Chain A
Amino acid sequence: MDKRGKQNVLKRILAIRGMGQVITVTIGFIILCIVFGLVNPIFFSGKNVANLLRQIAPILIIGIGQSYVLITGNIDLSIGSVVGMSCMISATLMTKGVNPLIAILITICCCLAVGVLNGELVSKCKLPPFIATLGTMTIARGIAQIVNNNYNTGSIGEGAKGFRNFFYYGKTAGLYNAIWITLAMWIVFNFILSKTRSGRHIYAIGSNIDAARLSGVNVHSTTIKAYLVSAICACTVGLMTCATTGMGTMDAGNSYEMYAVAASVIGGVSTLGGQGILLGTVIGASIWGVLQNGLQFAGAPVAIRNITIGIIVVVSVLLDVIVRTGKPRKKKMNPVT
């Protein structure tokens, strides 16, 4: 009886859409951890694991945002700049003595505005998402530079101690707050994507926008929702960065948009839309973090780290293609008729 129950659970897990690649990359992830652990035993020390989790957190959060947008069949290049914008706006406000809570609220509003703009440009004005978000990427970076007259801000000061504690120093139940925030965001957004109507709509427009529209899906508002999620994720990471460094840096979040794409894609999210689950993004972001951290421990220079990560991105997607079709680069054929 017990055994059968177990089998059913296994079957059900395997039946979840997109589980295939998640399992493949999870195996890869485990192998990576073991290898790094053997090379340098410090890798598994409690301190390093806590540190590692804190490194993974921002990548995972922006990965969630990018996954949402990728699943709708679009892309968001503005993520990195929004991180910078969020960091600079909040820091500038706090150095000017604004209450951190109000500063956070203002920052969130500004970031959401970018999300709405992205969504409107893509779905109302029908701009190609790559171009539209390339534009907002540059604009958001410009805003990040202009808020403090083209200078990084000074220290955000004593008044913001609570802010720094909440986002960086503080621990709850033995784990850094940043990790709890990440976990909470993942749970909420995973629930929305997999269990709610809006989530279904996001998959539907990514899979076939015409069919979705004819099925009564509001394509316009769904696209905006996805970009809003992306913006709110980027905003959170911006606030975290601000709390980490204790100041506003103009080029915070530089090229994060590509890290986000990498985390999503390693985890099995298709850049063509309609495919992928957030569990994959977790593994994708973890592989990213473990590689950075592990290679650093192994004493590899930055150049080697970059090359390795680049290879991992390509190989993981290639693996998925091979697993699905049996052959690399073979065009997907129509099914039996």
Chain B
Amino acid sequence: MNIPINPKNHPCFCKTGVIYLYSARKQYIERLGIVMDEYIVEIEHVSKSFPGVLALNNVSFNLRSGEVLALLGENGAGKSTLMKILSGVYTKDSGTIRVFGQIIEDLNTKKAQELGIAIIHQELNMCAHLTVAQNIFLGQEITEYGMISDRKMNAEAKKILSSLNIDIDPEMVVGDLAVSKQQMVEIAKALSTNAKVLIMDEPTSALTSKEIEDLFIIINKLKQEGCGIVYISHRLEELENIVDRVTILRDGEFIKSMSFHETSLGEIISCMVGRDIKEKFPRVTCTRGERILEVKQLNAGRMVRNINFELFAGEIVGIAGLMGAGRTEMTRAIFGVDSKDSGEIILDGKVVRIEKPMDAIKCGIVLVPEDRKKDGLCTKLSIRDNIALPNLDILCNKVGIVSNKKEKTMTEKAVIDLKIKLPNIEVNAGSLSGGNQQKVVVGKWLRRKSRVVIFDEPTRGIDVAAKVEIYNLMNELKKQGIGVLFVSSEMPEVMGISDRIIVMCDGKITGELNTDEATQDMILQYATSFDKKSADLMSS
């Protein structure tokens, strides 16, 4: 039944500079269909160390064709490192890698691509100024008489996209597409190189639930065609729709590999964390205090229209909604990043003027921004500098000289309070893992006396244990009588943590619910209640 395949002899794998047409890939897959469930990737006893860290210690891992394997683990468990080794970005220190049964030495990115291993990174790697087709064929452009043929590339891109049921015009400029569409283009790009092994690192972190469904349809399709898919995600809830098998890493070591249907989420989590997490959403009850913040008739551009809400001491208000509902824009308008058209912000009974972030910080409103790479961290600066940055007014004397001692004490306290794992406070913020970076972003805002703390997607892309730590932190603020606004796209966590939920849709508040009465359906209903005019606008 099993016909061994020698990748080198196969027409799809011999790189001669000819562009493989999509049909060729399909033929290959049809042939491959015979060897479903064959191990296509076997990694044995691989170790990898970076200066000062042993990132992978004797890890084994395998992948069959036609299966979706979830690679799970906390931040810093070594998932990304392992996948980067498989895709040739890093070189292993020891161990063996077999792809299609052949031992592969000195794997590099080019060789990995030739072998049919494609990786979709957590951060999208797209040239924003080029078109969809140009991006898909980047590095393997189709030529005609020695010149690049946009016509052929567009046609070929269209074929690939339509075979995946993705409705995107290949002539669109990538920068104009929504993040989710860009993700689809990235998948199409991976498949244009005849990928047999597709690695997806957190593919859903920027997608809405509808878009996730679309993505899953594509994944299932690829799976049926015989692709082996490695799926890395922190959203455990979504695994059951697609995953066949899970492999769990912890602290750079292999822990367990098991069939998904024979295990439970609880078991997976305890394997990942190494201990049982009692409460996924810890909750503390406080009595609701006086009114801290009142936003009246706030307007700012198209995405923030006529916003009215109140926030009381000792409560966490969740802001739910679909991606693009205007939640981030609202927080940015309150914080003074974007200018307001009209409206009042009343803090502790007094109207405050907020025109730039500095004004907001001075009166005690702080924002933990959504995109930590773009808005949250200075990745080239040290942890100490990052944490000190918004607090320099506290750390400086009258002349503006920074006190080294105060700065150090503040940073060390933040590191201990938030349990940030780092070699020392002088390392670059960019060298930390995602979860720890997020903790630094949160930490830099909690060192000053604030009245209102706005968290915008604070748990995106971080692991379960770190999430719980962030929740505990919000609860701590709540206990201190600080008003907390919590923007999140993940409904379970909004419902699990907040006392009250405000739902936004299309730049407006469409509903407000108490957590006891809220259900996912109700939130979704509010979140999709577009008024007729804008619904028409969107469908056209």
User: Which B residues fall within an 8 A CB radius of A?
Assistant: 50, 53, 55, 75-76, 78-81, 84, 89-90, 121-123, 335, 337, 356-358, 360-362, 367, 369, 374-382, 385, 388-390, 392-393, 396, 399-402, 424, 426, 430-434, 444
Q: Chain B residues near A206 (CB, 8 Å)?
A: 380
Q: How many A-B residue pairs have CB under 8 A?
A: 110
Of B90, B367, B381, which contacts A214 at CB under 8 A? Answer: B367
Q: Which chain A residues lie closer than 8 Å to B380 at the CB level?
A: 206-208, 270, 274-275
Most B CB contacts (10 A, CB to CB) among A17, A197, A213, A216 go to A216
| In the complex, chain A residues whose CB is within 8 Å of the CB of B374 | 208, 210-211
Separation of A199 and B399 alpha carbons in the complex (Å): 13
Residue in chain A with minimal CB distance to B55: A336
* A-B interface, 8 closest residue pairs, ranked by CB to CB distance from nearest: A207-B378, A215-B390, A274-B380, A216-B358, A337-B80, A207-B380, A216-B361, A208-B378
State in angstroms the CA–CA spacing of A199 and B402 once bound together. 9
B438 to chain A, nearest CB (A): 11
Residue of B whose beta carbon sits closest to that of A16: B426
Given A17-B382, A210-B374, A215-B357, check contact A336 B53 (CB 8 Å).
Answer: yes
Within 8 A of B (CB), among A319-333: 333
Choose among B76, B121, B381 the residue that contacts A274 (Cβ–Cβ < 8 A).
B381
Q: Does A335 contact B (CB under 8 A)?
A: yes
A200 touches B388 (CB 8 A): yes
User: Taking A207-B381, A210-B374, A215-B389 as contacts, is the C-beta distance between A334 and B358 under 8 angstroms?
Assistant: no
Type the 1/0 row for A190-205, where 1 means its CB is closer than 8 Å to any CB of B: 0000011111110110
**Provided the pairs A213-B337, A333-B84 are in contact, do residues A204 and B55 lie with their beta carbons within 8 angstroms?**
no
When the two chains form their complex, are residues A214 and B357 in contact, meaning their CB atoms are under 8 A apart? yes
Nearest A residue to B83 by beta-carbon distance?
A: A337
Known: A337-B433, A337-B434. A211 touches B358 (CB 8 A): no
Q: How far, in whole Å, are A196 and B404 apart by their CA atoms in the complex?
A: 10
What are 7 contact pairs spanning A and B, CB under 8 A? A195-B401, A196-B400, A203-B381, A204-B389, A216-B357, A216-B358, A337-B79
Query: How far is the CB of B427 from the nearest CB of chain A, in Å?
Result: 10
A336 vs B361: C-alpha distance in the bound complex, in angstroms?
33
Interface size class of A (residues with CB under 8 A): 20 to 34
Please tell me if the beta carbons of A214 and B337 are within 8 angstroms of each other in the complex.
yes
A128 CB → nearest B CB, Å: 16
The answer for the CA separation of A196 and B397 in the assembled complex, in Å, is 9
B357 touches A196 (CB 8 A): no
* A178 proximal to B (CB < 8 A): no
Task: Give the distance to chain A from B372, nearest Cβ to Cβ, in Å.
Answer: 9
Question: What residues on A are CB-neighbors of B360 within 8 Å?
Answer: 216
Q: Is the CB of A337 within 8 A of B75?
A: yes
Chain A residues near B402 (CB-CB < 8 A): 195-197, 199-200
Contacting pair A200 B392 (CB below 8 A)? yes
Is A116 among interface residues, defined by CB-CB distance under 8 A? no
Question: Is A114 interfacial (CB-CB < 8 Å)?
Answer: no
Instruction: List residues of chain B with CB within 8 A of the CB of A17.
Output: 381-382, 426
Q: How far is the CB of A267 from chain B (nearest CB, A)?
A: 17
Measured CA separation A210–B50 after assembly (Å) = 30
Instruction: Answer whether A337 and B76 are a contact pair too, CB < 8 Å, given A200-B389, A214-B357.
Output: yes
Q: Tell me the minimal C-beta distance from B402 to chain A in angstroms.
A: 6
Q: Which residue of B lies closest to A209 (CB)?
A: B378
Residues of B within 8 Å of A335, CB to CB, are 430-433
Residues of chain A from 195 to 250 with CB closer than 8 A to chain B in the complex: 195-201, 203-204, 206-208, 210-218
- Determine the distance from Cα of A204 to Cα of B388 in the docked complex, in whole angstroms: 11
Please report which residues of chain A, range 299-337, place their CB below 8 angstroms from some CB of chain B when the two chains form the complex: 333-337
